[in-house]
Amino acid sequence: MSAAVTRPSFVEGQVLAAADLEAQVAYARLDSALHERAEHGWGVAQGLELRAGDKQKAGTAEEYVEVTLAAGVAVAPNGRRIVVSDDQPLRYTDFRDSGVFSSSDAAGALYPVYVVALDEPRIQARGVGSCGTAAPNRTDESFQIEYGRPGDEVAVLAQVAGAIGAGPEPAGKVLVGYVAWNKAAVQEGRFARVAAINDQGNQVRYVGVRASAMVGHVGGVSLQTREGDPRFVLAMVEDGQGGCKLSFGRQQGNAPLSSVFSVDEKGDVKFAGEASKLAADRRLAIASGTTFHGLKVPLPAGVTEADVTAGAYRLHVDVQPIHEIQRSGASFRFALPMECRVDGRRVVTSISVWFQASAWPPFTIAPRPCRYQIVAVPT
């Protein structure tokens, strides 16, 4: 039988020990952690953007920026909330002393920035006449900012939550963005810029919703790309008369949705743009063979003239002359390539000079076949 989640309970007249009260707190923390990691996942919930101030310059040194971590909330992989109640300046000395920067790093390298949960025990002042030890009786659920080497974020973003019954510890790190370091800015170096995504596409992870259904409260539900303006919205709203419309568009403030696409309960579709067919999956195509003077090099299978005209493929064509010797008894003749080329229309020019010592004149100019190879590269 699997272990159960134990909920503390109390009875009249019970003498409550510290362990009883601590169990109540632990139960509430476990309940919160289970909800966060099971129903929402982990990542940034609100705020926590890295913001760069105006560029500054000291004397002849290079420009730099001051960086601030905006207030916000994150959920660690094991479900613990990390609350940053006020904007926090990133101290360049902390980055410098972290040891993540190396003089051999590429210029403009991006270093990941994390928030990590941190418990700070402290002693709450007791009333007059109280007795007992001076053990900590409060815990501040705080945080700290940490830095990593370029590439360290891969392992952090791959974190998975613990077992179902696991508590909120250890919390784990949450990526909030990247900073670049300029060692030539001022004497000790300074931050050069901030980013939410690096060159490898590793970006800040945000919490989500895990559900098989989303139910609106009053006949409508919407998805928004951001909390602020301007934002894009996908909304499904009933009209109060038995109908419903799914709309997509831009919205500013509390203004009505500026729909560019909609479909109603009857299947009627309205859109502001143009309808176009999705391009087929195009792949590299190669063909080879033999052709003749004046003919057009054929396209590989699956590539049409319309594709080439539309610029869907870039063509590479190579033609080579065919060397030939013909014998008849004691006499013979052979072909010397005179010209072998292909023009922009893929039309072949292939001309050779036949030489036969027993004939007069010994030279004859004639069109000839040639070999071709054509490669169609999708653009």
Q: Are residues 165 and 81 in the same domain?
A: yes
Q: Are residues 28 and 148 in the same domain?
A: yes
The torsion defined by the Cα of 363, 364, 367 and 371, in degrees rounded to 10, comes to -30
Q: Are residues 157 and 97 in the same domain?
A: yes
Q: Are residues 290 and 345 in the same domain?
A: yes
pLDDT value, residue 3: 64
Q: Are residues 256 and 332 in the same domain?
A: no
Q: Which two tokens stand for residue 103?
A: 């003089």
Residue 145 lies in a domain: yes
Rounded to whole angstroms, the Cα distance separating 174 from 153 reads 9
Rounded to whole angstroms, the Cα distance separating 222 from 224 reads 7
Spatial contact of 247 and 261, defined as CB atoms under 8 Å apart: yes
**pTM, rounded to two decimals:** 0.60
Q: Are residues 245 and 180 in the same domain?
A: no
pLDDT value, residue 6: 78
Q: Are residues 154 and 302 in the same domain?
A: no
- Render the burial of 118-156: b for 16+ CB within 10 Å, e for the rest: eeeeeeeeeeeeeeeeeeeeeeeeebebebbebebbeeb
Q: What is the DSSP string of 48-62?
A: --EEE---B--TTSP
Q: Are residues 297 and 184 in the same domain?
A: no
Residue 45 lies in a domain: yes
pLDDT tens string 22-60: 888 887 888 887 888 878 888 898 899 999 988 887 666
Residue 295 lies in a domain: yes
Chosen domain end from 156, 179, 195? 195
Rounded to whole angstroms, the Cα distance separating 36 from 27 reads 14
Q: Which residue has the tokens 């040194």?
A: 61
Q: What 3-state DSSP class applies to 34?
A: helix
**What total number of domains does the chain contain?**
3
pLDDT value, residue 257: 87
Q: What is the DSSP string of 259-328?
A: EEEEEETT--EEESS---PPPP----EEEEEEEETTPBPPPPTT--HHHHHTTSEEEEEEEEE---EEEE
Domain that holds residue 52: 18-122+137-195
Q: Are residues 263 and 319 in the same domain?
A: no
pLDDT value, residue 128: 53
Longest dimension (CA), the chain: 133
pLDDT value, residue 126: 59
Residue 206 lies in a domain: no
pLDDT value, residue 1: 45
pLDDT value, residue 186: 63
Mean pLDDT per 10-residue segment, the chain (379 residues) = 72 84 81 80 89 78 86 89 92 90 88 91 63 70 92 88 74 90 78 89 85 81 83 90 93 86 94 79 89 95 91 93 81 86 94 83 88 93
pLDDT value, residue 146: 94
Residue 38's nearest CA partner among 70, 86, 77, 82 is 77
Residue 343 lies in a domain: yes
Q: Are residues 182 and 90 in the same domain?
A: yes
Q: Are residues 238 and 362 in the same domain?
A: no
Q: Is the dihedral of CA 89, 94, 100, 102 positive or negative?
A: positive
pLDDT value, residue 291: 95
Q: Which two tokens stand for residue 23?
A: 């169990």
Rounded to whole angstroms, the Cα distance separating 241 from 7 reads 48
Residue 187's nearest CA partner among 54, 292, 62, 85 is 62
Residue 90 lies in a domain: yes
Q: Are residues 183 and 89 in the same domain?
A: yes
Distances (CA, A) of 113 to 5, 50, 101, 203, 346: 35, 9, 13, 11, 56
Query: What's the burial of 241, exposed, middle or buried (CB within 10 Å: 0-12/13-18/19+)?
Result: exposed
Q: Is the dihedral of CA 211, 117, 193, 46 positive or negative?
A: positive
